[in-house]
Structure formats: structure tokens, C-alpha cells
Chains A and B, each alone.
Chain A
Amino acid sequence: MTEDKKINSRRNFLKRGAIVLGGSMVASYLGCNPMRRFVAQTAEGMDLPADISSFNPDFWFQILPDNLVLLKSPKVEMGQGIFTGYAMMAAEELNVSMEQMRVEHANTASGIEDALGTGGSNSTLSLFKPIREMAATLREILKLGAAAIWKVPVAQITTQNGILQSGAQKMTFAECVAATKQWTIPKTPALKPASEFKYIGKDVKRIDLKTKVMGTAQYTIDSHFPNMAYATMLPCPYFKATLKTVNTAAAEKSPDVLKVVQKDGWVAVVAKTQYAALSAAQKLEATWDVPQMLQQAALEAMVTVGKGTEVNVQKVGNAKSVLENGAGKVYKQAFRTPFGAHAPMEVNGTVAHVTKDIAIIVLGTQQPSITKSLVAKALGINKKMVDIQIPFLGGGFGRKGMMGNVVETAQLSQIMGRPIKMMFTREQEFQNSFYRPLTHHVLSAKIGEKGDIQAITHDQATPDEVLKFVTGSTLPLKLLGADFISAGHGASLLYNIPNKSATVWGTEIPMPVGIWRGVGMYPNTFAVESFMNELAHETKKDALDFRIGLLTDVNDSIAQRTKKVLEVLKEKSGWTTAKPAGVGRGVSIANDRKSIAGSAVEVAIVEGKIKVLRVTQVLDVGMILNPEGIRSQMEGCVMMGISGALYEEVTVKDSQVSMSNFHEFPMATLADVPDIQTVILANAHEPYGVGEPPLAPIAPAISGAILDLTGKMLRQLPLKI
């Protein structure tokens, strides 16, 4: 470190009377990692990893005057509990209590840039080491500070609950900060071994629990600035339609309307109140140019195996040849999954306060960095003048990794010269989204005369989910040239079958599609694991033992961890116990983000409808950070999985989504809650993803149970009997 940097670092440290880890240090921790991680993970066919750079990092930690420690999180809290996980990591190395930890989102003006945003169940793993290293470094900095004050060797100083101690002398971290003029930065200290963990691996209550129960948690819609006006946009009623004419006269005369703004092909009403804006928008009369009237059947025809760009993502042996030649039986089936809606309870929306000095954007987004660039470009200002301030997200599920109305809201604020709040209506949320793409799958297997599976192939047809949102010219993305890291995620076949092949048929469709929780793992697991249930049924084998019998490669750690998950499922679900009359049992697994998830379910048909009675959910997370947080995510995935399996479906008619609000898009409710049992395993050395992996196995486990109960296979989501 040069002398200059030392001075700068010191200034940063003392900023706002707080200890701050400056930019140069953050860079040294993270600077060269993202690309390495990126290449490594794409090579394994996983999803996009985190890419946290250090363009203008101000701080990660602050010691507050009341001896609380504030951690600025570059990853967003959307319910998955990442604030709690990060607080645990930091508390562990800082030697402070969980009660002393505070976590806020880093804002883009003063915080760290996270170029790839929050998603892919990657937040815990990607910062597990960096946060602990920075916390440990901060602890050592404080010890060095105390050593200088007390004039004792640093080795004599211990830390506990945010207190520095040497013999009888004690001071709080905050007192040390207040008394220290010159800081010394040590080398990165060694991290605690797992045997000394005080918090990691133990149940910890969500750090945001109280604020969310008391109703004080702030979301985008709750943000308010003095002199703020409310806006609402005229929704575009058709995919890719352009505004032809609009009559704004009646809207302009509507009570409390300030202005009707037309810009870049969109129209928005700005009013003194939310109600006035919504009422006036009803009075806009618009006509639209619609390039083509898209229908559901035509979209399904476009997304069909054999059409589009063929990318082989897995080839072991020669499945094609084995399928076409020799004795045995070829078993072939096709599967479909529908378009999906994210339906977060908090609609998309933005509060923008653009002045000549800074553009403050309050936005619940999974992509602060990309958003900042878009806003700067739209406003014609430097990126440094844009501050994306992130409140809690009222659910993300991928939707908030894509754009809502941030650009238009920022422009409205610039035009009106005052703060603007503009939320989607629920109808806009349903109809102006980026949908999980529908998929088509064809699976074939060669069943030998002894019932052995000699070959298996999986062809998936899917529109792109991720690449079109990635700007810039990152080399690996261009080389990949296909979308199998996202929409194709999970297309490959896990089981140790001697000949296997997986192919993704990438297509483009003229409607907006995008990232949805679990990306390709969700449809692919439904297709592949449903097919596995069929193969077990066809060969008259137990669906769970059949899978265990195909996980034979002792050198394949994923296969062996999966086998263990299945064995635990078998035991904990009571798989071998006598089945009550009218009950079917099904099983499924998913290998997702290096976590292994498995579900065993029991279903019945009640009043002509599928009813899920019990779900046993096993998740091997690699290494356990917060069991309580993991259970919460597993339970959530069970409910979202049931919802997707039994109810959810977005359809298209005349270039419009047929669903306008919740009455046309039924989701699981309290009435659908089964008896849920969760089991967490830890059979690796890092904490892997938790937010998405447990979702994928639910639907195929349910369809497997229906097969078990009725002998009938349902090959399309949602499952209808």
C-alpha cells in the first residue's frame, strides 16, 4: 500500500466518526475473483455467480456510537434472510453479539457495486469468506487501535461482545473508534475454525423479524419525500405494441391532476394523490399498433423440441445409437410447463427524486448496478449522480431482477421537478411482466430386457431467460452462445446411466420472458423427474429405490450426496410404511446450485381435486449457516411448489396475458398447507444455495404420487385430473 492510499484509507476510516473499510481493501478481497468464479461456475453448468466490483466502495462496516455494528449489504433482502446470514458471518469474526448487529442495503452512491445483482441462490456462498475476512480484519484493526491507546502488545488484547479487553482495562469498539486518530491496517487474519463457531450453524432469529412484525419495515411503496406527486402509467395492453394515438383531454381535467406527460411512446398521469392519478388514467383514450396478434397455441408451437438453436449440454456414451439399435424397449414421453408469473405481493414501483445535484431512486431491485446505468443514461447524467437506495423487497422471485418503471419514474421526476412515486397496479404487474417461459421436453429411454435403463435422452425447448438482460461483452457469455446456464439449467441428467444426452433447443418468442425463481431447474426437474417416476413405474420398481439404484458412481460427489438425501427421505417420510387407503406417494430430487433437494409427498384426491397431505423435504446445503433460515426457505418452497404444481398458469390470448389479477391467477392459500417436515443435511464444506433448490422437486413428486395413486401420469403443469 502506498503512503497516499494509507492517508485516504485513514480518511475513509474516520468518516462520520465511524470505522470504515476503504476501497483499496475491498478491491484486494474481491477484485480478481468474479471472473474466476464466473468461468468456474459456468463450466459446471451453473447459473450466473455474483460479480461484486469495487468501483466506488465507501464502506462495508460502520461502528456506530452506541457500539452497534452496521453492515452494508450489497445483496438485497427480499425475504430470503440474507441480512441475517451476513450478520451472523460478521458477528462471528467481529466477536459481537447478534443483538449488536445492524444490516442495511448498501446504496449505489456510497456502497459497493454488485454488477450481477441478487439471485441464483448465490448470496450466502459468494460472500461467506469475504464478509468474514473483512470482519476479522476490522476486529484486528480495533485491537491494534486499543493496543496503541493502552500501550500494550496487541497479543494481550481480547474481544468479546464488542468490548476490547487487556487485563483489567476495557473499552467498547465505539470508544476505541472515538479515541483513535491513526489506524493501522493489518494483514488478513486467519478465520475461526468451524469448531469455534458461536453463531454459524445455530438457529438465529431473523434480524428483520421485529420490524416486519410491527409493520415498520419500509418497502418502495412506503417511501415518501416532501412535495412528492403520484403518477401512474397508461399500461401497454399488448406485447410489443406501440402507442398510435392518445386523447388526454378528459384525464387532464380530472380532479387533482397536475400533468399528463407523453414521452418516448409512453403516457403517464401525474397527480396530487395516488387515487387522483389512478382515476384520471382510466380516462385516457388510446389506440395501439399491434405488430401481430399472438395466441397461446402459436407460442407453444414455437417452443417445441426440434425448433430453434440446438445446443448439446451433456453427452455420455452414445445414447442415440443405443436408443435406435439393439434389443429392449424404447420409452418416450413429452412434457410441458406453462408461462409463469412471479406475482410478488409487492408490485413493482419506484420513488424518484431527481435534482440537479443527484438522482435519488428508491427501488426494490435485485439489480441496483444495472439500474443505475439505465437511469443515468435516460436522464443524460453521470452515473456518479445516481443513487439507487434499496428498501426491503416485498418478494423478488426474479421479477425484480428485471425492469419495472424506474426509467419512466426518474424521467417524470426530472420533467416535473419534484419527487414522484409511481407503482404498478396489480393489473400492470400481471400483464406487463417478463414471464417464466413455457417449455417443451421430450425424454426417451432404452429399457433393457431386465428392466435396466441403458440410455436416456432429454431434449428441452425453451426461450432464453437471462442472456438478453446481460449487457456488455463478457467473453464467456459470448462463447456460450446459448442459454443453457439459465433456462437450460437442470437439463442435464444426474443419474449414472451409461449412455445419456441432454440438448437445449433455444428459441426466441415475440413476448417478454425472463428469470423466475430457480430458472430452468423448475421446468427441467418437472420433466426429468416425472420421467424417472414413469420409468420406475414402467419397470415395476419402487420410485425411490429405483433412483438410489442409479446413483452408483462412488467418485461422483453429487451422486453420492443425492443418494444420501434419498436414503434420509426414505426413512423420514415413512416411505416403506403401509399406505393409508386413497393415498399416493411420490418422490423427486433436484441437484441445484450444488445443493441437493429431495421431496417425498403424499397426496389424495379430495372432492375431485388433488390434495397434498404431507411433504417431507430434505436439503443437503453443503454447510449450514442458519438452520432456522433454511427451514423457512424450505417451507416457502413447498408452498410455492404446490402452488405451481396445482394452480399456476399464465396463458396468452390476442397478444395479452389472460390474467389480470389474483382472481384469474389462483395460488396456494392457507387451505393448501400440508403437514411439512424439513430435514437439513450438511455433507460438504461450503454453504450452498437455499432459496431455489427446494422448489424444483415438489411438482414432480406430486405428479409421481398421482401416478402411484391412479396409475395415470400427468405430463403438463399445472397438474389437472
Chain B
Amino acid sequence: MKISFKINGQETTLDVDPQMPLLWAVRDELKLTATKYGCGKALCGACTLHVDGDMLRSCSIPIEYASGKNVTTLEGLPESHPVKQAWMELQVPQCGYCQPGFMMAAAHFLQTHPNPTDADIQTNITNICRCGTQSRILKAVKRAAELSKK
């Protein structure tokens, strides 16, 4: 089935099983690989992306849901995006695998929480990291909030 949508601002059409998770469509069909597979059950957030401004865990959303919508992956955030800049400044990543999901979660979170407290971040960003970058992520989200105001 042909499904048309916008990916990072570009119109695209895929001819795939409409039930294919958006994750695999983005990664394998569109070759945008920042969005990662982590658990397949919307538990870890490694596959987090935005669809029409909503934050979604793409491993558990069928591609047909994206039909006619705007999908944004980490590749769609500019290098100057406050979240990317804060992640650079705080040197957050270790292995780096979970970071695109965290950054996409943070970018969405900051839209509704321009002045976040630790508690706000801890309640709203529930992604998983194994290397133990959580303390830097907390700092980076707050730094991104500051950078967003500049």
C-alpha cells in the first residue's frame, strides 16, 4: 500500500505493509538511522520521534498512522537546535545509542516546559540509558531550556 507523508519536511511515498512499524519504515526504507530499535514495545524510548508535533515511540506505531502527516526524526533537527547544542556542551553521550531518542523526547518536552525542574524532567522523560548518562541528560535538558530563550 502506498503511504505518503512528510519526513523532515520532504514529501515522500512508501509502498509498504501499512502495519509496518514507523520505526522500520524510517530506518530501512528511508535510511534515516538516528532513530533506533531498543525494545519494540514502547518501553525504552530509543525510537522516539515526532509526528505532527506529538512525541511517539515509533516501534509501536504503524506507518499508516503517519499518512498525510509530518514526521520529524533527529536528522530533522538543525545542528543549531538548543537540544543538540546542549548535548554537545554537556558531552552527554557515551555509547550514544539511546541519545537520539532522549534528544527527541527532550525537544518535545521543552515545548511545553520552558522552565523545567528536575522533577518535571524526571516525570516526563522516561527513556532508558544503560551507560549511565542520566545525570548529564538532566543537566543538558535544563541547559537546552536556557539556550531556547536566547
A219 to B37, CA, bound (A): 11
Tell me which of B31, B44, B92 contacts A345 (CB under 8 A).
Answer: B44
A671 to B126, CA, bound (A): 8
> Is the CB–CB distance between A208 and B121 below 8 Å?
no
> Is the CB–CB distance between A276 and B43 below 8 Å?
no
Top 4 nearest A-B pairs (CB, nearest first) are A215-B34, A394-B97, A79-B95, A639-B132
Decide yes or no whether A637 CB sits under 8 A from chain B. yes
> Is the CB–CB distance between A670 and B138 below 8 Å?
yes
> Is the CB–CB distance between B84 and A397 below 8 Å?
no
List the B side residues contacting A397 at CB < 8 Å. Answer: 130
List the B side residues contacting A427 at CB < 8 Å. Answer: 40
Interface SS, B side? loop
List the A side residues contacting B54 at CB < 8 Å. Answer: none
Decide yes or no whether B13 CB sits under 8 A from chain A. no
List the A side residues contacting B117 at CB < 8 Å. Answer: none
Closest chain A residue, CB of each to CB of B121: A670
Partner-A contacts on B (CB < 8 A): 16-17, 19-21, 24, 27-29, 31, 33-34, 36-41, 43-44, 46, 73-75, 79, 84, 87-88, 91-100, 103, 118, 121-123, 125-138
List the B side residues contacting A276 at CB < 8 Å. Answer: 17
Q: Mark A651-664, 1 if CB is under 8 A from B, else 0.
A: 00000000001110
Closest chain A residue, CB of each to CB of B137: A670
Closest chain A residue, CB of each to CB of B96: A212
Stretch at the interface among A123-131, A286-294, A434-442, A628-636: A628-636
Q: Size band of the A side of the interface?
A: 35 or more
> Is the CB–CB distance between B40 and A425 below 8 Å?
yes
Known: A667-B128, A669-B122, A676-B135. 16 other contacts (CB 8 A): A206-B93, A209-B91, A215-B73, A215-B100, A273-B29, A344-B97, A426-B44, A427-B40, A628-B91, A632-B94, A639-B135, A640-B131, A661-B41, A662-B41, A670-B126, A673-B138
> Is the CB–CB distance between A661 and B97 below 8 Å?
no
**How many Å from the CB of A694 to the closest CB on chain B?**
10
A628 to B136, CA, bound (A): 12
Decide yes or no whether A686 CB sits under 8 A from chain B. no
List the B side residues contacting A395 at CB < 8 Å. Answer: 95, 97, 130-131
List the B side residues contacting A662 at CB < 8 Å. Answer: 39, 41, 43-44, 128
List the A side residues contacting B130 at CB < 8 Å. Answer: 343-345, 395, 397, 640, 667
List the A side residues contacting B129 at CB < 8 Å. Answer: 345, 639
Decide yes or no whether A300 CB sits under 8 A from chain B. no
> Is the CB–CB distance between B41 and A213 below 8 Å?
no
Closest chain A residue, CB of each to CB of B102: A670
List the A side residues contacting B126 at CB < 8 Å. Answer: 669-670
Decide yes or no whether A393 CB sits under 8 A from chain B. yes
24 sampled A-B residue pairs with Cβ under 8 A: A80-B94, A213-B87, A214-B34, A221-B36, A222-B27, A224-B31, A273-B17, A274-B28, A343-B130, A345-B36, A345-B97, A345-B128, A346-B97, A394-B36, A395-B97, A397-B130, A425-B40, A639-B132, A639-B133, A639-B134, A662-B44, A667-B128, A670-B126, A670-B134
Decide yes or no whether A255 CB sits under 8 A from chain B. yes
> Is the CB–CB distance between A214 and B79 below 8 Å?
yes
Closest chain A residue, CB of each to CB of B29: A273
**How many Å from the CB of A597 to the closest CB on chain B?**
14
A671 to B9, CA, bound (A): 34
> Is the CB–CB distance between A426 and B99 below 8 Å?
no
> Is the CB–CB distance between A394 and B95 below 8 Å?
yes
List the A side residues contacting B99 at CB < 8 Å. Answer: 212-213
> Is the CB–CB distance between B93 and A213 below 8 Å?
yes
List the B side residues contacting A273 at CB < 8 Å. Answer: 16-17, 20, 24, 28-29
**How many Å from the CB of A713 to the closest CB on chain B?**
26
**How many Å from the CB of A627 to the closest CB on chain B?**
12
A209 to B88, CA, bound (A): 7
Closest chain A residue, CB of each to CB of B46: A345
**How many Å from the CB of B38 to the closest CB on chain A?**
6
Decide yes or no whether A216 CB sits under 8 A from chain B. yes
